[in-house]
């Protein structure tokens, strides 16, 4: 299917880096965009699921037991199903390495800074690989500096960015904007600043949603 939009479509993804359904949703909507041949300006809005989590993180097994009372068997069943769903979307989750949830504030700060260099999508891909495939501690500044360098961001400037009070204020403005949107859960996708789409969804569902959205834009412009 080939859809040509009358103008570039802006999509803002509301996400948290460590939440498994976010990279699944990201890859699925990206595949849908490619399949439809839609020109898209893609950005990210931060949503910290566990802002109070210590930087050292928490074992995923402990987290699920504490939050939901899940035992090891129930968690393993969920993870096995999740790995299959992720693989279908092109996301490799290796739970033998990915054992922890981490505080994601620094990650979102880095993602925000990368936006000014048009590096958000490339950075997001590297973060998915580092955390979900290799279990890297993405709350660790040194880990983030290495990933930033991989996408061409200057190391010294990145060090300054991760401790910048001005960037913290800018990130907070994004958080306040997200709060106004009253986001219920993630991932969520904001189309042209006015239409929210929730969930990771399948490629086919995203294709249908985006096609209808673009068609409505074209009809309303006539």
pLDDT computed for residue 219 by the predictor: 79
Confidence category of residue 1, pLDDT binned at 50, 70, 90: very low
Query: Looking at residue 184, what is its pLDDT?
Result: 82
Q: What is the per-residue pLDDT for 5?
A: 42
pLDDT for residue 222: 64
pLDDT at 4 over 80: no
Higher pLDDT, 221 or 204: 204
Q: What is the mean pLDDT of residues 145-173?
A: 97
**Full-model pTM:** 0.93
Compute the average pLDDT of residues 39-46.
96
The domain defined by 9-221 carries CATH number 3.40.30.10:
yes
- Region 36-52: mean pLDDT is 95
Please state the rounded mean pLDDT for residues 129-157. 97
**What is the three-state SS of the chain?**
CCCCCCCCEEEEEEECCCCCHHHHHHHHHHHHHHHHCCCEEEEEEECCCCCCCCCCCEEHHHHHHHHHCCCHHHHHHHHHHHHHHHHHHCCCCCCCCCCEECCCHHHHHHHHHHHCCCCHHHHHHHHHHHHHHCCCCCCCHHHHHHHHHHCCCCHHHHHHHCCCHHHHHHHHHHHHHHHHHCCCCCCEEEECCCEEEECCCCHHHHHHHHHHHHHHHHHHHC
Mean pLDDT of 140-166: 97
Give tens-digit pLDDT for 48-100: 999 999 878 999 999 999 999 999 999 999 999 999 999 999 999 999 999 99
> Over 60: is that where the pLDDT of 6 sits?
no
16-20, 72-76, 135-139, 215-219: least confidently modelled range: 215-219
Average per-residue pLDDT for the chain: 94
Q: Where are the domains of the chain?
A: 9-221
């Amino acid at each position: 299917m080939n859809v040509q939009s009358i103008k570039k479509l802006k999509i803002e993804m509301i996400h948290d880096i460590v939440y498994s359904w976010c990279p699944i949703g990201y890859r699925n909507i990206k595949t849908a965009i490619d399949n439809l041949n839609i020109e898209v300006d893609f950005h990210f809005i931060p949503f910290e699921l566990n802002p109070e989590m210590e930087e050292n993180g928490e074992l995923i097994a402990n987290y699920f037991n504490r939050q939901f009372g899940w035992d090891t068997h129930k968690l393993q069943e969920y993870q096995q199903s999740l790995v299959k769903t992720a693989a279908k979307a092109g996301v490799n989750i290796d739970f033998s390495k990915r054992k922890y949830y981490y505080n994601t504030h620094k990650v979102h700060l880095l993602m925000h800074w990368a936006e000014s260099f048009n590096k958000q999508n490339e950075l997001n891909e590297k973060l998915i690989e580092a955390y979900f495939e290799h279990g890297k501690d993405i709350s660790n500044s040194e880990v983030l500096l290495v990933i930033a360098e991989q996408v061409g961001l200057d190391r010294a400037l990145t060090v300054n960015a991760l401790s910048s009070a001005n960037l913290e204020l800018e990130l907070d403005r994004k958080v306040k904007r997200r709060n106004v949107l009253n986001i219920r859960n993630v991932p969520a996708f904001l189309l042209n600043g006015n239409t929210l789409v929730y969930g990771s969804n399948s490629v086919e569902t995203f294709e249908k949603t985006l096609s209808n959205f673009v068609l409505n834009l074209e009809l309303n412009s006539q």
